[in-house]
Structure formats: C-alpha cells, structure tokens
C-alpha cells in the first residue's frame, strides 16, 4: 500500500499523472474498509486527455480503494462509452478493462429512474444512459416488444448485458419464438443453456440465426439451436444443410438419416471423430458411404486413417475387404462396428482385420459386438487363437439369433448348426427341423 503521506502518485502510470498536476488531494470518506482513504478529485476531461486515467492506472486505484466513488463511476462510464462500435467483435474486450468494469460496477447503486428519463422507445439516446439508468428506466416488456430496435444501435457490452439480464428475468422459462425471431445479432449474447429452453419451430428463424452466427465462434450455440429445432419436429432443407456444412460438425448426430443424406460430401472432411460419438448405427450407415467416396483416391494408410471414424456404418463386405489390407484395426474401433456386419466374419477374417491388436480381444470379450461374435464361433476354433476366449459353441449345438430383424412376413432368423455356414430359416422350416 503506498504511503498516504508521501508522493504516492509517482508510483502510478505516467499516463495518469504525467502532465502538470491540476488535481488536489482531499480526505474523504473511504470507499472501502481500511485506513483513511485519499481520494483524487479532478475535473472530467475528455478520455485520453491530460489527467484522465489509463486502464492500468484506474485498475490500480480501484484495487487500492483510493478512488472516489463518483470518480470510479465517471471513469467506468467513460471507458464503457468508448466501445460501442466494437461491440460486434466479441474478441476485442481486454481482460483488464473487464476487471475495471466489474470492480467499478460494485459501486453502482440501485436507484429510481429520474423524472423524464423513462424510456418510451429503444433508440440511440439510450447509448448515453449510465448503466444504473438503463436498469431503472428501461422496462422489460418494452425491451421484449422492441427487440428488433436493439441491433441498429451501438450499445456497449455492459448495456447489452443489462438488456439480456432483463430478458432472462422476464422469460425465466426461455424466450418465446416471437422474440427469438427478432434477436438477430443479439443472438451472439445468448448461451447454449439459454437456447435449450427455447421452442424453435420456424426454419426462417434458424436460417437468420445461422447467418449472424457465422464467423463468431458460436459452434455450441448452433448445435443447441439445431437440436431444439429438430426435437420439435423441424425439417432442414438443402439450403440450410449447405449452410450448416460451413460450421464445425458438432450438430451432425442431431440430424435424421434422411437429412444426413442431403449433406454434401465435403462435410466428412471437416468432421472430427468426437463429432460422431453419439451417432446411431442408422446415421453412421448414411455417413459411411459418403466418407468412402470422399476418401477413395487416397493411399491405403491415409484412407484407413480417414475412414476409421466412419466404420460404424460399414457393411460386412467392406470389412472383409479391409481384412485383406493388413490395417491392424484397434479394438476400440472394432467395438463400434455394426453387430450385423461383424457376426458373419470368420475367425480368420477377424484375425487379419485386427492383426497385431488381436490380443486386445480378451479384455473386451464381454462387450458387444465381440461377445455376440464369440458366441457364433466354434469354441474349438477360438481355442486355437490362444487368447483364452470363452463362450463359443460346441460341436452339434444349434444357435438361433432372434435379435436379427424380421421382415413384415414374419421371416427369417439366422441359424447355425455347430461350426459351419449360417443358414436362414422361416419359423415353419425351423419347426420341421426340430420335429425331424
């Protein structure tokens, strides 16, 4: 703590007291707990002129508690008013300015709206209101009704935060669609948690919000918006899907197989493996052919690296082709393969598919689809692998798989009579086999 009796101002930023000192020191009531506080009182010059604190100086004064309440409020307002035309660039805000504003905001008292200051319309005059005036003089219902008037006005960060706080209080269960349709650039201030409370049914609303989100790092908000729209039964047209293809694909597993079918091939190039973690087998079955076509001209090693996240949609025929290419598939990828594609594979094919990673099967033998595949194999053949896998069939046993889907005619189940080929039978043929 500087010595109040000494020339403590010499320790401040030169931009604050580098000019001729026109200020006078006076003992005032302390604005924070502690010893007697020396408050610096000056006139209110233009921001950046001689005697006006820089961000660093004001931050020091605020931290020391040596700045008069009225001075802190004035500096807070001056610094904030300088930002309006930069509000669209959310990356501009400097950490030290944020600290100053948050600390100075502690001194802003709740006050009643002064006479004649009650806002009747949202216009550019409100830019010059102090934060406490906006809080006191702008009605929440007015803000909700005139939301479309907010975007053309260069409000500051703090002013927009006040507006958002008002809307959140007015609609604690989530914004209505009548308001969402008019958010436009105000959408940049909402969070994914806010969006998950919404009910979005209009495709035009989705399109307008996607347009303002582009280039602003709104990936989580875009995914939440698509989720709310799809959950409500909304259908995305090709134009919207083309727009979505320009965003990171965190939304991919939210789309129906039909919608995924309309996605451009280039979407698989920007999809990250984690973006596919929650996709269903039906969704993967649509994405896999797109990936196979997109990566088909790559070298074998590059192709497998690229196609691996999509193999959860690969059919049995493609897995057999891969087993001949010495790819050494890891067990984690094997676990994501479709059960129906894995069951027909022979022990030799699985051995070639996993290569050096075959030894990892033992640790995962209780997981699908590996357990299902083991139960379809001859225990004698499994023993030859030397991995200690158990659960295969003994010679002469009959294995039926009632989990495989039947067609509308009540039809075939998979059947295995001990080791050997898989047969398909109808219920009537199965009954005949048992009786004989």
pLDDT value of residue 414: 46
Q: Where are the domains of the chain?
A: 112-170, 314-396
pLDDT digits (tens, 9 = 90+) for 374-425: 999 988 888 888 888 888 887 655 555 545 444 333 444 444 444 444 444 4
Whether cis (ω within 30° of 0) applies to the bond prior to 369 is: yes
Which structure tokens are listed for 292?
A: 């196979």
> Among 216, 217, 214, 244, which Cα is nearest to 229's?
244
Whether residue 394 contacts residue 379, with contact meaning beta carbons closer than 8 Å, is answered with: yes
Alpha-carbon distance 62 to 69, whole Å? Answer: 10
> Among 255, 313, 254, which Cα is nearest to 281's?
313
Query: CA torsion 300→306→308→314, rounded to 10°?
Result: -80
Query: Cβ–Cβ contacts within 10 Å for residue 67, how many?
Result: 28
> Among 287, 240, 296, 283, which Cα is nearest to 267's?
287
pLDDT digits (tens, 9 = 90+) for 348-373: 999 999 999 999 988 888 888 889 99
Ranges of H-type helices in 267-378: 267-270, 281-294, 300-307, 316-323, 331-335, 339-342, 347-354, 370-375
Domain 112-170: give its CATH architecture.
Up-down Bundle (1.20)
The pTM of this model reads 0.60
pLDDT digits (tens, 9 = 90+) for 95-133: 444 444 444 454 445 688 999 889 999 999 999 998 999
Q: Mean pLDDT over residues 257-271, rounded?
A: 90
Categorize the per-residue pLDDT at 193 as very low, low, confident or very high, splitting at 50, 70 and 90.
very high
Secondary structure (3-state) at 38: strand
Query: Tokens 């698509």 appear where?
Result: 226
């Amino acid at each position: 703590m500087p010595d109040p009796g000494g020339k403590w101002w010499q320790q401040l930023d030169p931009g604050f007291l580098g000019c001729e000192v026109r200020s006078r020191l006076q003992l005032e009531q302390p604005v924070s707990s502690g010893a007697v506080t020396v408050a610096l009182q000056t006139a209110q010059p233009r921001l950046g002129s001689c005697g006006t604190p820089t961000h660093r100086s004001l931050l020091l004064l605020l931290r020391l508690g040596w700045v008069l309440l009225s001075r802190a409020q004035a500096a807070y307002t001056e610094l904030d008013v300088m930002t309006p035309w930069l509000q669209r660039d959310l990356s501009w805000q400097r950490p030290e300015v944020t600290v100053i504003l948050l600390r100075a905001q502690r001194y802003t008292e709740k006050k009643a709206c002064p006479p004649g200051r009650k806002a009747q319309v949202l216009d550019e005059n409100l830019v010059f209101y102090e934060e406490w005036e906006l809080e006191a003089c702008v009605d929440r219902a007015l803000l909700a009704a005139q939301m479309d008037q907010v975007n053309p006005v260069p409000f500051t960060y703090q002013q927009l935060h006040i507006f958002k706080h008002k809307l959140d209080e007015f609609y604690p269960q989530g914004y209505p669609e009548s308001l969402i349709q008019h958010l436009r650039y105000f959408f940049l201030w909402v969070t994914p948690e806010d969006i998950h409370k919404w009910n979005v049914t209009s495709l035009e609303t989705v399109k307008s919000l996607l347009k303002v989100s582009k280039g602003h790092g709104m990936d989580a908000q875009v995914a939440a918006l698509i989720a709310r729209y799809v959950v409500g039964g909304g259908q995305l047209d090709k134009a919207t899907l083309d727009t979505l293809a320009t965003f990171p694909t965190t939304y991919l597993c939210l789309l129906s197989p039909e919608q995924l079918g309309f996605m451009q091939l280039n979407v698989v190039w920007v999809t990250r493996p984690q973006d596919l973690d929650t996709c269903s087998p039906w969704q993967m079955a649509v994405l896999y052919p797109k990936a196979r076509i997109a990566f088909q001209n790559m070298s074998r090693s590059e192709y497998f690296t690229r196609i691996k996240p999509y193999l959860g949609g690969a059919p049995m025929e493609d897995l057999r082709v891969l087993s001949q290419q010495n790819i050494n598939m890891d067990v984690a990828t094997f676990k994501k393969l479709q059960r129906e594609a894995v069951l027909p594979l022979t022990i030799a094919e699985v051995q070639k598919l996993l290569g050096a990673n075959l030894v990892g099967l033992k640790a995962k033998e209780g997981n699908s689809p590996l357990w299902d595949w083991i139960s379809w194999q001859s225990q004698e053949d499994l023993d030859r692998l030397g991995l200690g896998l158990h659960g295969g069939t003994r010679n002469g046993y009959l294995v039926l798989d009632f989990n495989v889907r039947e067609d509308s005619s009540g039809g075939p189940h998979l059947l295995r009579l001990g080791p050997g080929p898989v047969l398909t039978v109808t219920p009537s043929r199965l009954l005949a086999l048992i009786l004989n």
